[in-house]
Amino acid sequence: MEFIKKFESISISDLPLVGGKNASLGEMIQKLTPLGLTIPSGFVITVEGYKKHLQKNNLESQIAELLQKIDKNNLKDFSQIGEKIRSLITQAQLPEELIREITEAYKQMESTYGKNCDVAVRSSATAEDLPEASFAGQQETFLNVRGETELLYACSHCFASLFTNRAISYRIDHGFEHTDVLISLGIQKMVRSDLASAGVIFTLDTESGHKEVILINSSYGLGENIVKGVVNPDEFFVHKPTLEQGFRPILKKRCGSKKSKLVYSHDRTAQTKNVPVPEDDQITFSLTDDEILELARQSLIIEKHYSKTRGRWTPMDIEWAKDGQDGKLYILQARPETVHAPKQEQLYFEEFFIKNKDQYKNKILATGKSVGRKMVTGKAQVINDTAQMDQVKPGEILVTDMTDPDWEPIMKRAGGIVTNRGGRTCHAAIVSRELGIPAIVGTTNATEKIKTGQEITIDCSSGEVGIIYDGMIPFEIAKVEVAQANKRPIEIMINVGNPDEAFSFAKLPNDGVGLARLEFIINSSIKIHPMALIHPERINDKETREKINNLTVTYQDKKQFFIDTLAQEAGTIAAAFYPKPVIVRLSDFKSNEYRNLVGGIHFEPEEENPMLGFRGASRYCHEKYREAFELECLAMKKIREDMGLNNVKLMIPFVRTVAEGEKVIEEMKKHGLTQGENGLEIYMMCEVPSNVIIIDDFCKIFDGLSIGSNDLTQMVLGVDRDSELIASLFDERNPAVKKMLQLSIEGAKRNKKKIGICGQAPSDYPELSLFLIELGIDSLSLNPDAVLKQIASMEG
């Protein structure tokens, strides 16, 4: 055939003939299906077919004449010209020889898949899927196309989509001559994901660019809803290095709302339609753990192939679908990711932050998923559809329900983007990354909370959750050159509590995590007192029972909910910094803080001074908490053994006596955490004066120490740090405190044990850091916002 090629006969070298998308599919079918990929096949209409259509109908000169009249600043005329060009192409009759070849190729598919088999008709431009310009979503895709008549109609309109307004705009912005870009079509057997699920994979963290994770988005039905941002999808993260070692490192599982799904329309008035998702399915993950891991393995195969072909690491943007009839997972297409991949040479570290952030809590208008690690302030422009696009002035913040590729001309004007719907791989998210502007997607209610003309601040600096503030909130930017950061005179570690920020924090210059707090995870992700999951029979109020059931709805075994959630969230921190050491401190809530957890009042005592009461090591072996401590241990075991993250060290807080420390180590052993086994090290927080006074004895049972300057200062000076009346007396620079710091370091050195500090003091007082460095401390573990400032202060 002159205009048709089968996917099996093409490769990446055929890009000028079949476009980027089709060349990539042919390449994968040829070279990667033997390695385990499953890809639906079909055929390609080459660019020669498109050229033949234009030539046969004398369209080339007419199109060129119309394109010369385009003025991107006149959106109304711009739109009308695009429509005229598309009409010229769709109203012209396809050449007879092209029709003959298309119908013959389709009949060959029918012989394999049945009469009037369902196919997808996808565009594939010759300037598409390039490392510097993806062109993703610029042309049209037609789904559930059946029979020759529908196929020919879809082909004609797919040809015309080379001149959608967004495609014309994109070519102008990226410096491509319109006549240099041609279009090929891929006709591919449909995967019946309308009966199952589909989604998108990125082989990196889309926000931070972290290389060692895979992000999978998934929702019920055909995958277009995720790409267009119609639904808030499920989100999964998988760790590459330990996946390759044979472990099961699912780091995060976030259940999206998934309120609608795109399915086949059987009345043929339209090929597809959106229908509501049953409530039970909305709260159920759309993929099993085995399917998550299988998709991750397939995406790794694709990434490795393209990285080898291109001679450098090439993260991939992959579309996949699960067939509800045969139960198999299919790769639909793959393209190089174009935002982070070109930025391989980092020249400096940059961090946006708000000082005293808590003071602005009452100004929060809405929250959603953050895109980009930046902040921006500006006037909001709330618009409902593209007809209002000319209302957005340069630098204003676009606020809308959702975007699709037709919005791109105006998105380029915006200083930031906010949407009600969508996940981190939706259209608004992808475009904002390409443009280098921050966005917050999936807020659900931003168009209700924000008014046109209102001054707002978009804050995407704090991990997954993006915050929209009322008013112009002042923010700062810390910056350190890479060369300067690499000259650290001492190990600089980071204190991390929020797993959502871990991938971004890992980009800072660091030697690992000196303190990973479990309290934040328990409080924000689990929310339930562990004993309430173990002994629900002790909870006698209906409201608390309902809260627990709602939070654990995806789990029959409520204890497993605690184990899995704690393992995934803490495991995310460990994976972000892998293989650097990550010191995870076991829970250090006080009894009053435990009482605030759901069900906590049924299990916690009321203490006069919780700061000096039932906390830390004293809990772990006590009958009131021993069963809960087992769940913590099982979560840590899962991180190290199931996920393969053996860079995790465990740390015990508030150990008052040596005997207490020995009991805890023995209790951990009962639950599979044996000191020294598989390299497990157990550290102690050095924060009680007894830890310093008899440090030689404590060093005999622990592998290392980390100074908790907050509690140590409190205990040395006799100052309750929760008391506002005497807050002014709390000072880590007090001579008595500094003497205890000195004795701690000297004692650890004497016993050849590593010692660092993870308390607040070094983050607040650079002069105290210098004092500790001179004493020979092994590491400083700082709050993330202090890392760059601390390194800058160390220069020279």
Find residue 470's DSSP bridge partners: 456
Rounded Cα distance, 750 and 743, in Å: 10
Query: Three-state SS for 260?
Result: strand
Taking the alpha carbons of 266, 270, 276, 280 in that order, is the dihedral positive or negative?
A: positive
In angstroms, the CA 625 to CA 663 distance is: 14
Give the Å distances, CA to CA, from 570 to 376, 529, 724: 30, 17, 32
* Residue 691, CA distances (Å) to 68, 360, 514, 709 in order: 79, 39, 19, 12
Query: Torsion-angle region of residue 327: left (phi > 0), alpha (psi -120 to 50) or beta?
Result: left
Annotated active-site residue 427? The verdict is yes
- In 3-state terms, what secondary structure has residue 238? strand
Name, in order, each residue with C-beta under 8 angstroms of 724's C-beta and a sequence gap of 6 or more. none
Of 239, 427, 460, 686, the catalytic one is 427
Is residue 93 classed exposed, middle or buried when 0-12, 13-18 and 19+ CB atoms within 10 A define those classes? exposed
- Look at strands 682-686 and 704-707 and give their pairing: parallel
Please tell me whether residue 189 adopts helix, strand or coil conformation: strand
Asked about 157 being catalytic, the answer comes back as no
How far apart are the C-alpha atoms of 244 and 36, rounded to whole Å?
15
Q: What are 736's two structure tokens?
A: 């008595």
**Residue 281 burial by Cβ neighbours in a 10 Å radius (0-12, 13-18, 19+):** middle
What is the Cα–Cα distance from 248 to 291, expressed in whole angstroms?
11
Helix (H) or strand (E) segment spanning residue 421: none
| Token output for 130 | 């390039």
> How far apart are alpha carbons 130 and 338 in whole angstroms?
8
Question: Using CB atoms within 10 A of its CB, is residue 376 exposed (0-12), middle (13-18) or buried (19+)?
Answer: buried
Rounded to an integer, what distance in angstroms lies between the CA atom of residue 173 and that of residue 167? 10
Q: H helices within 142-286, ranges in order?
A: 147-160, 165-173, 224-228, 240-244, 279-282
C-alpha 272/C-alpha 671 separation (Å) is: 52
- Do 490 and 777 touch, CB atoms closer than 8 A? yes
DSSP-derived secondary structure letter, 140: -
**Longest distance between any two alpha carbons in the chain, whole Å:** 94
Question: In this structure, are residues 340 and 313 in contact, taking their beta carbons and an 8 Å threshold?
Answer: no
**What are the residue numbers of the active site?**
427, 758
